[in-house]
Structure 1
Amino acid sequence: MGFPIDEASSAINASGPDTSITELMDFIYAGQMATTFENPLQEPPHMILNYDEDEDYYERAFSDEDGVPSHISKPMIGFGVPNVPRPILQRNLPTAAIGPPYFYFENIACALKGVWSTISRFLYEIEPEFVDSVHFSAAARKRGYVHNLPIQNRYPLMPIPPLTIQEAWPLTKTWWPTWDKRTKLNCLRTCVGCPKITKRIRDALERCDGVPDLHTQNYVLHECKKWNLVWVGKNRVALLEPDEMEMILGYPENHTRGGGTNRMDRYKALGNAFQVDTVAYHFSVLKSNFPNGITLLSLFSGIGGAEVALHRLGVPLKNVVSVEISPVNRKILHSWWEQTNQSGNLIELEDVQELGADKLEHLIHVLGGFDLIVGGSPCNNLTGSNRLSRDGLGGTHSILFYDYFRIVDTVKCIMVNKQ
């Protein structure tokens, strides 16, 4: 792990012999950072900060050294991404998985062991598609998708978005030090650093005469990778603004300002959002199928990533039933719906757990059925960053996956019986 033996032994004694390597590393690092925050240059002499530039720092639990579980292929290109050669794939869906309707489920790729096999088992034994959004944007976002969409003849959204940090913010080239080799950001998360972090970095760099020493470089690079900091001046780094995160994730400028959303709520909403360009690439196969519009059941809608992706593809949103428990997210989606002058029907519901068979049958009767069911249930209990309630699909929040499955299966049964 790159840590002194005494620190590793202390961590094992404190945490127990069955503790995972990831948790032991976090324990050691937390102790080191207690000193680092007081004097950021006093790193332990044997501390090695070595992160791949496309690694999701907080999604390494139950993973190999590259931050990707051993059952996920690398690079994470799923059934194919633009401009990356891959043999032509054919997949045969299980009979039970074939639509209508189409369905599309998303969650973090680097989840607890066994999570994706359970998700696949419930969703008709479909093989998950694991994709890192570095192939669609300037930031990593390792996600798994289980869906019954066609996989041939996909195409990317146009125009192609910036694919590197330097393309996204050309002015940063002036100030970018040669020893910072980053070209991609790490995963955009729900929390961001505080201004004190950028001040500590500036103070550390200004204490150096010319090119900073290796310890200072390691400290600065660690903080830059952890918090996705970019260079904005001599010895100066800055946190991403919400509108910059919107750009990286494929949303229109000020998308999350809808309804008067405050700054911290914007960060939280964006950290949980779909990467639009990635999702739109998967949805592109639907455009020719629904020239007159699509009827969408959007579960855990968030800030409307699926809706934005379909809209940007030019697929008319004929009917959208949006189910989202967060009032902030509902305001954002509703504001976008009005600002883009959508001509279809938007039906807003709050809780997937209250969406029972009777309600679904009524909606299907009124709307004529659903063409696509999209959802990404909460990942709170799946991610490696959750040290308190990493309970997998049985956790308080992530257990809602089973409601996604229940709703998909119920809709399929009702629609089959009405044929």
Structure 2
Amino acid sequence: MTETSYGPAETTSPNFIQKGISDEAVASFIEMGFSSEMIARAIEETGGANSEPRMILETLFNYSASTEASSSKSKVIDHFIGMGFPEENVIKAIQEYGDENIDDIMNALLTYAEVDRLGETKDVNINTTDDDDNLYSLSSDDDEDELNNSSQEDSILQALIKMDYSREEAAIAIERCGEDASVEEVVDFICAAQMARQFDEFFAEPDKKEPMNNSKKRRTYNEPPRRERKPNTAMANDQLIYLPKEMIGFGVPNRPGLMMNRAVPVPDIACGPPFFYYENVAMAPKGVWATISSHLYDILPEFVDSKHFCAAARKRGYIHNLPIQNRFQIQPQPHNTIQEALPLTKRWWPSWDERTKLNCLLTCIASAKLTNRIREALEKYDGEPPLQVQKQVMYQCKKWNLVWVGKNKLAPLEPDEMEKLLGFPRDHTRGGGISRTDRYKSLGNSFQVDTVAYHLSVLKPLFPNGIKVLSLFTGIGGGEVALHRLQIRMNVVVSVEISEANRNILRSFWEQTNQKGILREFKDVEKLDDNTIEQLMDEYGGFDLVIGGSPCNNLAGGNRHSRVGLEGEHSSLFFDYCRILETVRHKARQMRK
């Protein structure tokens, strides 16, 4: 995912640097709508260089409360302009509804913003309204390939609404992030705002909570807190697991100063071997991660974006009982930017394309019609195209991960380039009767090897004589490749994978890397009943690691028709993972007696 850029005048102010407050913290406060002067004042009042971000945020909310309490018409205007709305629209809304009807003003401003945005799209000559014009569909049953059915449904607003965000919340976030922001960037902003808005709700005393009634509407981002605070847990209900803005889990290699321990320890019942590790898409529907956590011993997920490990974003959540100390990165380290990973693109990369990271690699790619339309649009200009055309091109580049392969020429990633970005060896998915379509589909649903290997690295000193692995629905063997690159010998791998193409890929990898252990494959997870699991454990002496993940077809935000949560055809494999894991751990306890 591309990182959101902030204005240098605000985020690199010498005043803030002298106070010891990080640029990232200041940028977050500015993104919430607070002015630089207000932030500086809050930092001074809360201890200067020793200020804690949560105390600064609380002080900023208090400022907002006092400001709103004595607001005049001019202050209302300043308030909404500070939220990013155009001055003329603010004045128009106040003239229509008066300066006291804040909710009506907000609704009017959101309507104006949406009308303006839709009006701009009428001038777009790169986008298309054809149902399949921009899409090279890879599989008729792969709902992730339906990202571009129609221009209306394909809008960021509609995508966010499909992800269960309210229209008001989504519209505000789009307005604040800018029209060229990707869905992932807007979701980042919403999550940050939710965390700030819900901060007081996580720490509310039950007897002091405000009674809810139908007349109360959702608060906007800059409204002051209304409740008292006291410590509570983030698992109070199934809505309180929010995605962090910076997905670094318990730490990432390139940011050593941010290493941390688990906020909630692994419960005793889940400690120790056999270890388990489960991955799924981070931006799942509401309540999904709380459900996953509740089925895996209430362990809170570790959310990590693979942009910290490679040149492409891949936001995933991991629930595991692995140690988190003494992790290390596999060598050689992957290239961290697009042009380092794909050096042939550097010659043609225009200065106005400021991407250094690609977005999440999906199972679908842009069509030749789209890339040809972009080429024709750019060839109309001798020098740099106008800003509006640049924005249109960048929207498509971010959406489809297009890279520059010639003058005015963009192209989707090739399968071997995706393999490189995801940490697989070259030609890992090539050959053996596997079609190009299956290569894209398998890679789009795979682990990012460097990220997973960083988490699994703690196993190397624990199993110097090799490891026995039960691999569930891991696709093309991302877990096995990670262990191989960590030089952890795999004595036994029992793999369950329904896709014949994926099984062929894993089998080919096993043979080409001269693995000396046993590879045993199951096609149907239903064949792995309790008796079979116990027999396998008796035969091989148990398992040391149960690793798994399920395709994100029923969870990812782009899958409009199949985003049904954990009850979907693919995501329901999670419950099989839980069933199998419980049997393995129960049998392991018996074997230790």
Q: TM-score range by the shorter chain?
A: 0.7 to 0.9
- 1:89 and 2:89 matched: no
Residue 56 of structure 1: how far off its partner (Å)? 4.0
Corresponding residue for 2:512?
339
Which structure dedicates a bigger proportion of its chain to helix? 2
Measured in 1, the distance between the counterparts of 2:117 and 2:344 equals: 45
CA contact (8 A) 2:339 2:345 kept: yes
Measured in 1, the distance between the counterparts of 2:271 and 2:191 equals: 35
User: Partner letter of residue 197 of structure 1?
Assistant: L
Q: 1:28 aligns with which of 123, 148, 152?
A: 152
CA contact (8 A) 1:324 1:351 kept: yes
Residue 318 of structure 1: how far off its partner (Å)? 0.3
SS in 2 for 1:4: helix
CA contact (8 A) 2:442 2:475 kept: yes
Q: 1:130 aligns with which of 278, 296, 303?
A: 303
Measured in 2, the distance between the counterparts of 1:295 and 1:144 equals: 24
Identical-residue share of aligned pairs (%) = 57
- 1:192 and 2:365 matched: yes
User: Partner letter of residue 394 of structure 2?
Assistant: L
- 1:287 and 2:460 matched: yes
- 1:394 and 2:567 matched: yes
User: Partner letter of residue 81 of structure 1?
Assistant: V
SS in 1 for 2:365: coil
Superimposed CA distance per residue, residues 219-244 of structure 1 (whole angstroms, 9 cap, x where no aligned partner):
11111111111111111111111000
- 1:77 and 2:248 matched: yes
Compute the RMSD of aligned alpha carbons.
2.4
Measured in 2, the distance between the counterparts of 1:202 and 1:231 equals: 11
Measured in 1, the distance between the counterparts of 2:155 and 2:522 equals: 45
> Structure 1, unaligned stretches of length 5 or more?
9-22, 33-45
- 1:3 and 2:111 matched: no
- Go from structure 1 to structure 2 and tell me whether the alpha carbon gap of 1:139 and 1:229 turns closer, same or farther (over 3 Å shift): same
- Go from structure 1 to structure 2 and tell me whether the alpha carbon gap of 1:67 and 1:165 turns closer, same or farther (over 3 Å shift): farther
Q: Which runs of 4+ in 1 moved over 4 A?
A: 5-8, 29-32, 66-70
Corresponding residue for 2:281?
108
CA contact (8 A) 1:56 1:141 kept: no
Q: 1:218 aligns with which of 391, 396, 415?
A: 391
Residue 31 of structure 1: how far off its partner (Å)? 8.2
Residue 301 of structure 1: how far off its partner (Å)? 2.5
CA contact (8 A) 1:377 1:404 kept: no
Residue 351 of structure 1: how far off its partner (Å)? 1.7
CA contact (8 A) 1:319 1:345 kept: yes
Residue 3 of structure 1: how far off its partner (Å)? 2.6
CA contact (8 A) 1:258 1:335 kept: no
SS in 1 for 2:502: helix
- 1:267 and 2:267 matched: no
Superimposed CA distance per residue, residues 162-216 of structure 1 (whole angstroms, 9 cap, x where no aligned partner):
0000111223222111111100000000111112221111100001231101221
Corresponding residue for 2:535?
362
Q: Which one scores higher on RCO, CA 8 angstroms, separation ≥ 6?
A: 1
CA contact (8 A) 1:141 1:187 kept: yes
User: Partner letter of residue 207 of structure 1?
Assistant: K
Residue 64 of structure 1: how far off its partner (Å)? 4.5
Measured in 2, the distance between the counterparts of 1:321 and 1:256 equals: 20
- Structure index of larger Rg: 2
User: Partner letter of residue 115 of structure 2?
Assistant: P
Corresponding residue for 2:409?
236
> Structure 2, unaligned stretches of length 5 or more?
1-109, 120-146, 157-174, 196-241
How high is the TM-score relative to the length of structure 2?
Answer: 0.62
Measured in 1, the distance between the counterparts of 2:117 and 2:398 equals: 27
Deviates more, 1:67-76 or 1:197-206: 67-76
Measured in 1, the distance between the counterparts of 2:483 and 2:530 equals: 27
Deviates more, 1:273-282 or 1:174-183: 174-183
Corresponding residue for 1:139?
312
CA contact (8 A) 2:447 2:474 kept: no
Corresponding residue for 1:120?
293
Measured in 2, the distance between the counterparts of 1:68 and 1:241 equals: 37
Q: 2:449 aligns with which of 257, 262, 276?
A: 276
SS in 2 for 1:256: coil
- 1:178 and 2:351 matched: yes
- Go from structure 1 to structure 2 and tell me whether the alpha carbon gap of 1:27 and 1:107 turns closer, same or farther (over 3 Å shift): same
Residue 28 of structure 1: how far off its partner (Å)? 3.2
How high is the TM-score relative to the length of structure 1?
Answer: 0.87
CA contact (8 A) 1:384 1:390 kept: yes
SS in 2 for 1:282: helix
- 1:313 and 2:486 matched: yes
Corresponding residue for 2:272?
99
CA contact (8 A) 1:132 1:143 kept: yes
- 1:50 and 2:208 matched: no
CA contact (8 A) 1:322 1:347 kept: yes
Residue 6 of structure 1: how far off its partner (Å)? 9.8
SS in 1 for 2:114: coil
Measured in 2, the distance between the counterparts of 1:117 and 1:216 equals: 42
Superimposed CA distance per residue, residues 233-284 of structure 1 (whole angstroms, 9 cap, x where no aligned partner):
1111111110000000000000001422111110000000000000000000
- Go from structure 1 to structure 2 and tell me whether the alpha carbon gap of 1:278 and 1:303 turns closer, same or farther (over 3 Å shift): same
SS in 1 for 2:372: helix
SS in 1 for 2:419: helix
SS in 2 for 1:296: strand
Deviates more, 1:102-111 or 1:84-93: 84-93
User: Partner letter of residue 342 of structure 2?
Assistant: W
Measured in 2, the distance between the counterparts of 1:132 and 1:226 equals: 17
Q: 2:581 aligns with which of 397, 408, 414?
A: 408
SS in 2 for 1:28: coil
Measured in 2, the distance between the counterparts of 1:216 and 1:6 equals: 15
Measured in 1, the distance between the counterparts of 2:496 and 2:384 equals: 53
